[in-house]
Amino acid sequence: RRVTCLRNESNLGIVGTFNRLMAESSGELCVVHCGDDIAHPDRVSEIVRCWDEAAKRHPNVAAAMTRCRLVDGDMRALFPASADEPAGWRVVSGDSTWDGGLAYHGAAAVYSRRLYDRFGAMDPRAKFEDGLMFFRLALVGDLLLINERLFDYRSVDGASTTYHATLRSMADAAVKDVA
């Protein structure tokens, strides 16, 4: 497995950068990592391990999500720690994620290439890729939920603080202001 780092000459925006990532990549999984997030050392290897295990029994898995910890600029947890679930994973249907009952953080998402290839590039004027990709997931695939907390998401001035947003509100925000 190979990891490639891309750097844009100019600011393409979140969705434009995601489109470029997908156009230039050839792997099965897309693990997005923004500059202000802190990945645990085993984040990618643990995602791949769980994905490989889950895909054997659930061939329709098209995206995954890990747990994360929301922290401030000084790396202090913004919410009290909750009891950790047992290690492991589970799969839920993609359409069940769209009922608004699953709170998630887009930075914790991992996408299958086939989920992108099925629908093609997104409008680069959209504000976020995660809401759009999860809408696509709701139409055609299943979601792998990985119980391990594999990265810290820093919430500082100017950054997203919508940790508890639902999929429906994220999708609404993703397409707001797109003509």
Mean residue pLDDT of the chain comes to 78
Predicted TM-score (pTM) of the model is 0.78
Contacts 24+ apart (CB under 8 A), 40-46: 40/149, 40/150, 40/151, 40/152, 42/150, 43/150, 43/151, 44/3, 46/146, 46/148, 46/150
Share of the chain above pLDDT 70, in %: 74
Picking from 20-24, 48-52, 85-89, 141-145, which range would have the lowest pLDDT averaged per residue? 85-89
pLDDT band at 97 (very low <50, low <70, confident <90, very high): low
Residue by residue, DSSP assigns 91-156 as: EEEGGGGGGS--B--GGGEEEEHHHHHHH-PPPTTSS-SHHHHHHHHHHH-EEEEEEEEEEEEE--
Q: Is it the case that residue 144 has pLDDT exceeding 60?
A: yes
> Once rounded to an integer, what is the mean pLDDT over residues 102-116?
78
The Cα 73–Cα 29 span in angstroms is 29
pLDDT at 9: 93
Q: Which amino acid is at 124?
A: P
In what helix (H) or strand (E) does residue 89 lie, and over which residues does it extend?
strand 89-93
In what helix (H) or strand (E) does residue 17 lie, and over which residues does it extend?
helix 13-24
Higher-scoring residue by pLDDT: 63, 107: 63
- The DSSP letter of residue 12 is -
pLDDT at 175: 46
The Cα 155–Cα 51 span in angstroms is 28
Closest CA to 134 of 116, 146, 147, 152: 116
pLDDT band at 179 (very low <50, low <70, confident <90, very high): very low
Angle at 61 between CA 59 and CA 67, to 5 degrees: 140
Structure tokens at 40: 């645990």
